[in-house]
Structures are given as structure tokens and as C-alpha cells.
Amino acid sequence: MSCFLQAPVAHTFLSSASSCRTVRRTKALNLRCGALGAKNAAKIPMPPINPKDPFLSKLASVASSSPEAVLNSSANPDTPPFLDLFESPKLMATPAQVERSVSYNEHRPRSPPPDLPSLLLNGRIVYIGMPLVPAVTELVVAELMYLQWMDPKQPIYLYINSTGTTRDDGETVGMETEGFAIYDALMQLQNEIHTVAVGAAIGQACLLLSAGTKGKRFMMPHAKAMIQQPRVPSSGLMPASDVLIRAKEVVINRDTLVELLAKHTGNSIEAVAEVMRRPFYMDANRAKEFGVIDKILWRGQEKVMAEVASPEEWDKNAGIKVMDGF
């Protein structure tokens, strides 16, 4: 206000020189007051603004390039202001993007996961170490879907040490559909599936072992694989008609299992059905011959086996002659 009171004071002087000096002094005071006002205005507190905010960045870019687009923006009651400036409005990241950007960087956690299963999952390893019961199937299918969502191009490693839908004593603990559910999930994935038998792969677990990507199916040297016919669950006090229905369902599951094993092992359906009449156990070498796996994970094994002579060469070098009829 004092700035505006200087003009009347200047008019009290009568001499021209004094009036000129007063006018110059008044202009100088006005300039100083204007600078003071701008300085005070700059000190007005502003709300915190994220410089990386996509909405504000886009709005600032539009305002600098074409201010009339911001000033003349049409007011639409059905749309929040300024959203019409965006070709694809995106005010905030989706939960999936937030999870990716915050928790992971190139599929590595910024902080260690809290438990061992999470560490394995972070290494793209799905471990089946129990019989295939509903809880195991639910977890395995969820992990497979999650790993494909994280990166559909990186391989998924399926480690198997399971007795399938039975326990080690042969008692049925799960339906055959548990194994088929995991199998169907594997077939739907875009990723390569590397299967590894680290202990036992029995029944439906053997099917999962053989369902890996060709050339990426492995077995530890002392692991065991076994295929067998599905078992009829305990019938209890069921009526005879219900027992018959269950028996028919078991036969259907057996035929499905035979067809899938024949598909992935390269054997005929008749050959697979023949060996499945009784439990068919396979060590690593036999499983490789049967087509369940492609390689045995034994360090230096390929070099050692390449240097081993064939049985005929052993007999020849030892001077043993094979007689006809023996």
C-alpha cells in the first residue's frame, strides 16, 4: 500500500527539478515493491508434486506445445477434466505393474523372500515333493501360471519326487484328475518345461516327467520311475451300481494315461499298455531307453559311457566265444 501512496507525495513539490527527482524516486520504489511482491509470492507453499507422475508430465507437455488445448478444454460432466487430452488415459499403474516395478527387477527380488519355497519359485523352480493331492495340485498350477505371467520366454524347471496319486505303500490318496490337471496346465504354457526326476516319479508323476519339452527331460542317476494302472479308490459301503461306475471311470483314466504316455515316450499304445499290466519300474538308463527322459544328470557320465566297450567287445577281448543256442 505504501507504494501507491508515493504518487500524491510527489505532487507536493513545485519545482520541475524536484518533480523529476520525485517521479524517478517513485518509479524506483514501485519497482522495488514489485520485486518484493514477486519474492513473497514465490514463498507461497506449494503442494508436493511428483516430477515423474505420468499425468502431470503429459499435461505439462501438452500445455507447452499447445496451450489453447488446455485453456479451451471442453467440459464434459461424464469425464474428469483434461482426460480428453490423452489418447489412452492412464492415471496410475495397474496392481500387476506396481508389483513388478516394486518387488522385482529382472526377476530378482530386491530383498530376499521369506522362505525356501519362495526362493525356489524366484529361481523359476516348481518342486513336487508330495503325492498329488488337491492342495499340491492347486499350488503347482498356481505357480506355473505365475511363472508364465512373470516371463513367458524363460524356461520353467519342474523337479519331481512324488509317488503320484498313491502313497509309497500303494494306498490311493488322490484322484487321477489331480495329475491330469497339472499335465493340462503344462501343455497350456508358452514356456519351455524342463522336468527333472530327483527321487521317484511314479504313476501320474511319471507322466509329468515325460511331458517336459523334448530334449529337456532329465533324471538323476539313482532316481526311479514307475508306471502302473490307476487304482480303484476305496468303495466302502457303496452300492454295487456305484462300484461299477467307479470301475468304469478307472478304466477310462487308464486308457487316457496310456495314450498320453505313448504320445510323449514315442512308443505304441499297445506297448505301453502291455508293460502297464503290472508295475513297470525303470532306473535312469531304462527310462531313457523307454523314452521317458532324454538325459541322465550325472557329471562326466557321457564321457565315461562313451569309453565303455560293448558286451561283444568285452567277450572278444577276453577270448570268450559265444556258442550257438546260448
Per DSSP, which regions of the chain are E strands? Answer: 104-105, 108-109, 125-128, 156-162, 193-202, 217-219, 224-227, 280-282, 295-296
Is the residue at 65 inside a domain?
Answer: no
8 A C-beta contact, residue 122 and residue 113: yes
116 alpha carbon, distance to own chain's centre: 17
User: b/e string for 223-242 if b means 16 or more Cβ within 10 A?
Assistant: bbbbbbbbbebeeeeeeeee
CA–CA dist 230, 250 (Å, integer):
6
pLDDT of residue 298: 76
22 domain-assigned: no
Does 123 fall in a domain? yes
CA distances from residue 28 to 23, 33, 39, 136, 219 in whole angstroms, order as listed: 9, 9, 17, 84, 91
List pLDDT tens digits, range 198-220. Answer: 989 999 999 999 999 999 999 99
pLDDT reported for residue 310: 67
Q: Could you give the number of structural domains in the chain?
A: 1
Cell 467307479: give the residue: 246
User: Please, what sign has the CA dihedral across residues 170, 176, 181, 183?
Assistant: positive
Q: What is the pLDDT of residues 237-264, one digit of tens each?
A: 778 888 888 888 889 999 999 999 999 9
What's the pLDDT at 5? 41
pLDDT at 280: 93
Q: Any idea which of 126-140, 182-196, 233-247 has the lowest mean pLDDT?
A: 233-247
Give the pLDDT band of residue 53 (cuts 50, 70, 90).
low
Residue type, 298: W
Q: Which residues constitute the domain of residue 249? A: 113-301
Q: Is the pLDDT of residue 1 over 50?
A: no
Average pLDDT, the chain: 74
Q: Taking a C-beta distance cutoff of 8 angstroms, is the pair 223, 185 a contact? A: no
Q: Does residue 230 belong to any structural domain of this protein?
A: yes
- Residue 56 pLDDT level (bands cut at 50, 70, 90): low
Within a domain: 124: yes
Q: What is the pLDDT of residue 13?
A: 40
Q: What is the mean pLDDT of residues 168-177?
A: 82
Cell 527331460 appears where? Answer: 217
Whether 175 has a pLDDT exceeding 80, the answer reads: yes
* pLDDT, average across residues 15-43: 50
Whether 15 shows a pLDDT value over 50: the answer reads no
SS3 125: strand
223 domain residue, yes or no:
yes
Lowest mean pLDDT, pick from 37-46, 143-152, 159-168, 311-320: 37-46
Quick one: which of 205, 208, 206 has its CA closest to 189?
208
Residue 88 has what pLDDT? 45
Angstrom distance (rounded) from CA 303 to CA 298: 10
- What pLDDT does residue 120 have? 84
Q: What is the pTM of this model?
A: 0.59
Name which of 170, 264, 259, 248 is nearest 209 in CA terms.
Answer: 264
- Top-confidence residue, 208 or 7: 208
Residue 75 falls inside a structural domain: no
**Long-range CB contacts (within 8 A, 24+) of 300-308:** 301/221
Task: Confirm if 158 and 195 have CB atoms less than 8 A apart.
Answer: yes
Which CATH number do you get for residue 243?
Answer: 3.90.226.10
- Quick one: CA torsion of 289, 295, 300, 305, rounded to 10 degrees? 20
Residue 321 falls within a domain, yes or no?
Answer: no
Cβ-contact 250, 257 below 8 angstroms: no
Q: 272-289 burial string, b = 16+ CB within 10 Å, else e?
A: bbebbeeebebebeebbe
Percent of the chain at pLDDT > 90 equals 40
**Which pLDDT score, from 0 to 100, does residue 116 have?**
78
Judged by DSSP in three states, 11 sits in: coil
Q: What is the pLDDT of residues 133-150, one digit of tens each?
A: 999 999 999 999 999 999
Query: Which is more confidently placed, 27 or 72?
Result: 72
Q: Are 130 and 136 in contact (CB under 8 A)?
A: yes
Distance CA 293, CA 301 (A): 15
